[in-house]
């Protein structure tokens, strides 16, 4: 076990050691073990333990009870968060949403049995020893997604797993093992029982994945498309983006700009996304329109697009148009050189305008004029200097009613 191993899992091992010292048992489980074994970058680290949540709350100082009824707490340690979940089995899933019953168990192997795919059902102790009853390592080597146990039963327990299979295929560039695949084909309609929020989470991870082209092909081939609002009306193969998209606003802006009859409002509503997502999508689309109108980045675009959306915007452009230049870097540099960064930076403000026309009644002409000033300064038509702006304003626009 090299330094990479230590730097990746160091604090998680300290948590495990602490649990062991108090007489319990704990393992690293799930995605981080899979990603470590396949040589990919490790994301969030999940820990499974024999100890009930109450006990974990006693052992550690900072514990947030995020899902205590199914045995999960968040342990804050060394500035990081770790999900610590008590070994459990799940029974029921009558409503295809939540298991009817969560039972805490004492054996890690029982906990691994409830997990979706063999590659996700591997546990690792703090010495790097592996517990792998379902041959998950072999599946990882074959780059294969394999249901734990009987796939038909596993998808009936929780049909979301069908979407998860496809999103993992995209994320890892793995194929879906044939029995598992067949069983998705056979009972894909169960997906209609799953909440849209859960489907949305897997869908966006699919778009983010390096294998998103494979993922979108699988969505189509396995018949999952009807369960994805609005996307179900689009040919997902003929409209494949040039690069992967990372957020919902990017995905929605991508499709609504060219391939979707529906507007942003419908997409956001049907996918139950937030108002913030809606606003961000609209801002991206405004930027995209401005870009397409001018066939390039303009100062006005860079000025109006909130800079936190620059990374999204550059991905969106690269997804739509096959350009491989350093768009984001260019955007940031050019933003830095804009004459002003915000309306407050204008050397001539609304109050100055009022002084210029002291006899005029207040009205919409103020903001209209200020918008023109703003546009002219941002686009370098006039310099951001008080006298120059004043002169410009008096010349071209004595307000109509003066
Ligand atoms: P990611 O890299 O996206 O975080 P992950 O494998 O960690 O991938 P999570 O959704 O974070 O995926 O779930 C953590 C683990 O919990 C999984 O690896 C799997 O063992 C188990 N799991 C999660 N959701 C399900 C599910 N619906 N059915 C069965 N097991 C699940
Ligand atoms: Mg995870």
Question: What proportion of the chain, given as a percentage, has pLDDT over 90?
Answer: 87
7-35 mean pLDDT: 95
Report pLDDT for 93. 59
Q: Which of 31, 111, 121, 140 most suits a substitution to test ligand 1, by most atoms within 8 Å of the C-beta?
A: 31
**DSSP letters for 8-40:** HHHHHHHHHHHHHHTT--EEEETHHHHHHHTTP
173-196 mean pLDDT: 97
**Residue 6 pLDDT more than 90?**
no
Please report which confidence band the pLDDT of residue 376 belongs to, taking 50, 70 and 90 as the band edges: very high
Cβ atoms of 306 and 283 within 8 Å: the answer is yes
Cβ atoms of 215 and 206 within 8 Å: the answer is yes
Distance 32 CA to ligand 2 centre (A): 7
Question: What proportion of the chain, given as a percentage, has pLDDT over 70?
Answer: 95
10-23 mean pLDDT: 95
**Which domains are present in the chain?**
1-136 (3.30.460.10), 143-228 (1.10.110.30), 243-338 (1.20.58), 342-402 (1.10.246.80)
Question: Which residue has better confidence, 72 or 399?
Answer: 72
What is d(CA 240, CA 217) in angstroms, rounded to the nearest whole number?
9
**Residue 402 pLDDT more than 50?**
no
* DSSP for residue 81: E
Query: Whose alpha carbon is nearest atom 17 of ligand 1?
Result: 30
Query: Whose alpha carbon is nearest atom 14 of ligand 1?
Result: 30
Q: Which of 33, 46, 47, 207 most suits a substitution to test ligand 1, by most atoms within 8 Å of the C-beta?
A: 46
Query: Whose alpha carbon is nearest atom 22 of ligand 1?
Result: 115
ipTM for the assembly: 0.98
Of 92, 1, 5, 85, which is closest to residue 50 (Cα–Cα)?
85
**Residue 400 pLDDT more than 60?**
no
Nearest-atom index, ligand 1, CA of 115: 30
Report pLDDT for 399. 57
**Residue 311 pLDDT more than 80?**
yes
Tokens 């340690």 belong to which residue? 77
Helix axes 212-221, 196-208, angle to 10 degrees: 140
**DSSP letters for 35-71:** HHHTTPPP---EEEESS-HHHHHHH-SSEEEEEGGGT
**Residue 401 pLDDT more than 90?**
no
Cβ atoms of 24 and 35 within 8 Å: the answer is no
Task: Please tell me the total number of residues recorded for the chain in this structure.
Answer: 402
**Residue 3 pLDDT more than 60?**
yes
What is d(CA 305, CA 27) in angstroms, rounded to the nearest whole number?
45
Distance 40 CA to ligand 2 centre (A): 13
Distance 282 CA to ligand 2 centre (A): 30
What is d(CA 220, CA 223) in angstroms, rounded to the nearest whole number?
5
Please report which confidence band the pLDDT of residue 2 belongs to, taking 50, 70 and 90 as the band edges: low
Q: Which of 116, 123, 155, 204 most suits a substitution to test ligand 1, by most atoms within 8 Å of the C-beta?
A: 116
Cβ atoms of 312 and 284 within 8 Å: the answer is yes
Report pLDDT for 208. 98
Distance 339 CA to ligand 1 centre (A): 48
20-45 mean pLDDT: 95
Cβ atoms of 9 and 45 within 8 Å: the answer is yes
**DSSP letters for 302-369:** HHHS-GGGHHHHHHHHHHHS---S-HHHHHHHHHHTSS-SSGGG-SS-HHHHHHHSTTSPPSHHHHHH
Query: Whose alpha carbon is nearest atom 27 of ligand 1?
Result: 161
Binding residues for ATP: 31, 34, 115, 158, 161, 164, 167
Query: Whose alpha carbon is nearest atom 9 of ligand 1?
Result: 31
Nearest-atom index, ligand 1, CA of 112: 20
Protein residues with CB under 6 Å of any ligand 1 atom: 30-31, 43-44, 46, 115-116, 120-121, 158, 160-161
Radius of gyration (Cα) for the chain, nearest Å? Answer: 27
Report pLDDT for 5. 78
Report pLDDT for 97. 61
Binding residues for CTP: 31, 34, 115, 158, 161, 164, 167
**DSSP letters for 176-224:** EPHHHHHHHHHHGGGGGGS-HHHHHHHHHHHHHSTTHHHHHHHHHHTT-
Report pLDDT for 92. 62
**pTM over cut 0.80:** yes
Cβ atoms of 145 and 174 within 8 Å: the answer is yes
Distance 224 CA to ligand 2 centre (A): 23
Distance 305 CA to ligand 2 centre (A): 32
**Residue 85 pLDDT more than 90?**
yes
Report pLDDT for 395. 85
Average pLDDT, the chain: 94
- The residues, any chain, with a CB within 8 Å of residue 391's CB and separated by 6 or more, are none
Report pLDDT for 279. 98
Residue 71's CB: how many other CB atoms inside 10 A? 21
Q: pLDDT digit string (tens) for 234-291? A: 999 999 999 999 999 999 999 999 999 999 999 999 999 999 999 999 999 999 999 9
Report pLDDT for 10. 80
Query: Whose alpha carbon is nearest atom 21 of ligand 1?
Result: 115
Q: For residue 165, what are the CA distances in angstroms to 2, 44, 51, 222, 341?
A: 31, 19, 30, 11, 45
What is d(CA 191, CA 313) in angstroms, rounded to the nearest whole number?
32
Distance 209 CA to ligand 2 centre (A): 14
Ligand having the closest approach to the CA of 171: 1
* Cα angle: 31, vertex 32, 35; to 5 degrees: 85
Binding residues for Mg(2+): 44, 46
- The residues, any chain, with a CB within 8 Å of residue 54's CB and separated by 6 or more, are none
Distance 107 CA to ligand 2 centre (A): 21
Nearest-atom index, ligand 1, CA of 44: 4
């Amino acid at each position: 076990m090299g330094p990479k191993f230590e730097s990746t899992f160091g604090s998680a091992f300290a948590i495990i050691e602490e649990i062991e010292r108090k007489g319990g048992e704990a393992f690293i489980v799930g995605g981080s073990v899979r990603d470590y074994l396949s040589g990919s970058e490790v994301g969030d680290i999940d820990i499974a333990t024999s100890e009930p949540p109450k006990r974990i709350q006693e052992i550690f100082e900072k514990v947030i009870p995020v899902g205590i009824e199914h045995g999960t707490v968040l342990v804050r340690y060394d500035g990081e968060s770790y999900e610590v979940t008590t070994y459990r089995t799940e029974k029921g899933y009558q409503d295809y949403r939540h298991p009817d019953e969560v039972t805490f168990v004492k054996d890690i192997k029982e906990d691994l049995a409830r997990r979706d795919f063999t590659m996700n059902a591997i546990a690792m102790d703090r010495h790097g020893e592996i517990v792998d009853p379902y041959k998950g390592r072999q599946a990882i080597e074959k780059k294969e997604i394999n249901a734990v146990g009987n796939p038909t039963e596993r998808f009936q327990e929780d049909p979301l797993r069908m979407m998860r299979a496809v999103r993992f295929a995209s994320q890892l560039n793995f194929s879906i093992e044939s029995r598992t695949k067949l069983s998705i084909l056979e009972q894909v309609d169960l997906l209609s029982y799953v909440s849209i929020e859960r489907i949305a989470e897997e869908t966006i991870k699919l778009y983010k994945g390096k294998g998103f082209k494979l993922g979108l092909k699988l969505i189509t081939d396995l018949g999952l498309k009807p369960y994805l609002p609005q996307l179900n009306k689009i040919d997902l193969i003929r409209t494949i983006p040039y690069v992967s998209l990372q957020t919902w606003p990017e995905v929605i802006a991508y499709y609504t700009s060219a391939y979707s009859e529906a507007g942003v409002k419908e997409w956001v509503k049907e996918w139950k996304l937030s108002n913030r997502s809606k606003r961000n999508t609209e801002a991206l689309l405004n930027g995209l329109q401005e870009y397409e109108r001018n066939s390039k980045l303009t100062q006005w675009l860079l000025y109006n697009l909130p800079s936190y959306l620059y990374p999204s915007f550059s991905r969106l452009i690269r997804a739509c148009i096959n350009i491989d230049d350093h768009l984001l870097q260019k955007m940031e540099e050019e933003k830095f050189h804009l004459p002003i960064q915000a309306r407050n930076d204008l050397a001539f403000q609304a109050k100055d305008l009022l002084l210029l026309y002291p006899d005029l009644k207040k009205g919409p002409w103020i903001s209209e004029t200020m918008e023109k000033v703003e546009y002219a300064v941002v686009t370098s038509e006039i310099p951001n200097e008080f006298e120059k702006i004043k002169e410009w304003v008096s010349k071209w626009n004595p307000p109509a009613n003066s």
